[in-house]
Amino acid sequence: MLIREIQPSDRAEWQRMRCALWPDGEDDHELEIRDYFHRNERKAAVFVVEREGGALGGFLETSIRYYADGCESRNVGYIEGWYVDPDLRLQSLGRGLVAAAEQWAREQGCREMASDCELSNDISLKAHLAIGYEEVERAIHFRKTL
């Protein structure tokens, strides 16, 4: 299997995996994918796992954020979304995606990398800890309709 940057021909597979990771955002995925390929300024990158035969089996969306909780520097590499198809998990492919994102962030001048996950997402928490990330904060957000 190959880890590489996303290509325009990967749109349908990327959308499939985004829907698996973020099912509530289906309406936004097509627009966000189109916008990604039409941006002139690259403050983000997407890496994918390519299966034998060309289908995709995972992706990682990364960006540069000016600030990230728990980080000491500005312009921090940030894992915005990270997904591996269930049949490919526990094969170090997620680790490979993160390594590609970290290398990209270094090339952009970042000294730190950050990420987040939902409080209830134990799989993501364990995956982050397994590859050397440390928990720096927990948060619960509130809202009220006025």
- pLDDT tens readout for residues 13-58: 999 999 999 998 778 998 899 888 887 567 899 999 999 999 999 9
Q: Which residues of 5-43 are buried (b: 16+ CB within 10 A; e: fewer)?
A: ebeeebbebbeebbeeeeeeeeeebeeebeebeeeeeee
- pLDDT tens readout for residues 63-116: 999 988 888 888 999 999 999 999 999 999 999 999 999 999 999 999 999 999
* Structure confidence at residue 138 as a pLDDT band (50, 70, 90): confident
Report the pLDDT value the prediction gives residue 40, as an integer from 0 to 100.
58
| pLDDT surpassing 80 at residue 122 | yes
Q: What is the CATH number of domain 2-130?
A: 3.40.630.30
55/43 Cα distance (integer angstroms): 26
Report the pLDDT value the prediction gives residue 63, as an integer from 0 to 100.
95
Decide: 98 and 117 in contact? Cβ < 8 Å: no
Q: What token pair was written down for 6? A: 């996303």
Report the pLDDT value the prediction gives residue 27, as an integer from 0 to 100.
81
**Side chain identity at 98, as an amino acid letter?**
V
